[in-house]
């Protein structure tokens, strides 16, 4: 949303709509809402925390894209994210999860190899997840454009390599979207249900609501 405000302040001719709405949850849940009927693609930048709005977005989403740098955090953070995704898939079993390897241009070949291995290992831990073939590179001109409220396609001159990577990732996501969804494993469902029951039972009696 900060990026969208920069775009508005700069009066950039929009090539994509960026806006927020207090009724986002209702719009996502209502198949006849303006958002659901007027936009082919809706991209939601979730903050990644366990919040009602983030969960509502995930439950209504077809595809979740996780940048690989999220997977490079502490092991405990990875496990927390994996468990949360298992919980979400109880309500949205068709959710597809794509892990994208994001690299810095300055990274050496050894560092790139470690990052790819980390991303692949993380993807294997998540039920139904896959590692995208497309690799994104963070470039200085892209960061400068972003800080000015520009997209890769607004910047002048356009960095063709960056634009190609974004285009390739989009096409890959479209293909993944059209693949048959894999249901969560029975073990993942069992673990998710057990965690939800445990969390309910460990709350104070006055807030218990099964």
Residue 129 within a domain: yes
pTM: 0.74
Rounded to 5 degrees, φ, ψ at 191 are -65, -40
Between helices 109-125 and 75-91, what is the axis angle to 10°? 40
How confident is the model at residue 153, as a pLDDT?
A: 80
Cis peptide before 89 (omega within 30 of 0): no
- As for how many domains the chain has, the answer is 1
Picking from 57, 72, 70, the residue whose alpha carbon sits closest to that of residue 98 is 70
Residue 161 within a domain: yes
Residue 76 within a domain: yes
- Distance set, CA 115 to CA 73, 164, 188, 202 (Å): 11, 21, 26, 38
Residue 42 within a domain: no
Interval 7-45: pLDDT, tens:
777 777 666 667 666 777 788 778 888 888 888 888 887
Q: How far apart are CA 140 and CA 15, in angstroms?
A: 22
Residue 155 belongs to a domain with what CATH number?
3.40.50
Residue 28 within a domain: no
Q: Report the sign of the C-alpha dihedral through residues 48, 54, 59, 60, in that order.
A: negative
Domain hosting residue 171, numbered range:
61-207
Residue 101 within a domain: yes
Residue 27 within a domain: no
Q: How far apart are CA 121 and CA 51, in angstroms?
A: 26
Strand partners, 103: 137
Picking from 169, 92, 161, the residue whose alpha carbon sits closest to that of residue 130 is 169
Using the predicted structure, report yes or no on whether residue 198 has a pLDDT greater than 70: no
Helix ranges (DSSP H) in the chain: 2-9, 24-29, 34-38, 52-60, 68-71, 75-91, 109-125, 140-147, 160-178, 186-201
Interval 53-85: pLDDT, tens:
778 888 888 899 998 776 566 566 778 888 888
The whole-angstrom distance between residue 16's C-alpha and the CA centroid of its chain comes to 18
Residue 21 within a domain: no
């Amino acid at each position: 949303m900060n990026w969208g405000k920069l775009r508005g302040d700069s009066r950039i001719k929009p090539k994509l709509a960026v806006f927020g709405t207090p009724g986002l949850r209702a719009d996502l849940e209502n198949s006849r809402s303006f958002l659901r009927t007027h936009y082919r693609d809706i991209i939601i930048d979730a903050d990644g925390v366990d919040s009602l709005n983030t969960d509502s977005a995930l439950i209504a989403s077809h595809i979740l894209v996780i940048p690989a740098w999220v997977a490079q955090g502490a092991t405990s953070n990875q496990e927390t994210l994996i468990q949360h995704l298992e919980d979400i898939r109880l309500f949205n079993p068709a959710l597809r999860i794509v892990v994208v390897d994001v690299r810095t241009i300055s990274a050496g070949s050894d560092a790139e190899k470690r990052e790819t291995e980390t991303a692949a290992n993380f993807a294997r831990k998540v039920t139904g997840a896959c590692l995208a073939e497309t690799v994104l590179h963070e470039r200085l001109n892209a960061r400068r454009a972003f800080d000015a409220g520009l997209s890769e396609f607004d910047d002048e001159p356009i960095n063709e390599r960056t634009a190609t990577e974004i285009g390739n990732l989009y096409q890959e996501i479209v293909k993944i979207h059209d693949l048959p969804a894999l249901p969560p494993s029975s073990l993942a469902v069992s673990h998710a249900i057990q965690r939800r029951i445990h969390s309910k039972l460990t709350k104070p009696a006055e807030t218990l609501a099964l």
